[in-house]
Structure 1
């Protein structure tokens, strides 16, 4: 009984097609453009500091310095609930925290 061996006609055809195809990286815009529009770097890397060791207070204490209708981003996990003030997230954009022993990155 004859076998086709390691290079069957189908495998050879696929290999030939891949070798003759134009390179895929030529189809994409340079990394400094998106859909032909240039990308401008406004801030240097790490210009917006993250909050790495957030402090929390009970809701009753927060009432002394937060408005009743102030928007927050709420996160729950492991039976723990935390609220992150959006006005603070507008400035820092990311908080690195732990919730129920699980590391989380709260972003805005």
Structure 2
């Protein structure tokens, strides 16, 4: 069970590092353009997507996720969490506490 969680969190870390590198490349290209006159389009009303404020966790074996399901992993002061990207697609934000520190995980 602990090995599964470590594997899951390690995979998430590699995904996040890859995304961060790719994001930097995209930002370098995007920064050359001026979007200051573009309108902001709002497609959903304010607070239309509720945050998860009291997340409940299960072990990796009970999570009902495929081994290759994408997650965002957080480890701090001996505590670890894995947040399913599939779940975050519907909520976009989880307010939680890891290792005694309040965090917001967003997608």
The size of the alignment, in residue pairs, is: 73
Aligned runs of 1:8-87 on 2, under 5 Å?
34-62=35-63, 65-87=64-86
Greater relative CO (CA pairs within 8 A, separation 6+): 2
Greater gyration radius: 1
Q: CA deviation at 1:55?
A: 0.5
The aligned counterpart of 2:93 is 94
Q: TM-score, normalised by structure 1?
A: 0.64
Runs of 5+ consecutive residues of structure 1 not aligned to the other structure = 1-33
Shift of 1:58: 1.1
Describe the superposition over 1:19-40 as per-residue Cα deviations: whole angstroms up to 9, x where unpaired.
xxxxxxxxxxxxxxx5212112
Distance in 2 separating the partners of 1:44 and 1:93: 15
Residue 24 of structure 1 is matched in structure 2 by none
Please report the TM-score for the alignment, with normalisation by the length of structure 2. Answer: 0.64
SS at match of 1:37: coil
Q: Name the structure 2 match of 1:31.
A: none
Q: Name segments (4+ residues, structure 1) moved above 4 Å.
A: none
1:33-76 superposed Cα distances (whole Å, 9 cap, x missing partner): x52121122111101100000000111222xx111110110001
* Unmatched tracts of structure 2, length 5 or more: 1-34
In angstroms, what is the RMSD of aligned CA positions? Answer: 1.0
Which one has a larger percent helix, Structure 1 or Structure 2? 2
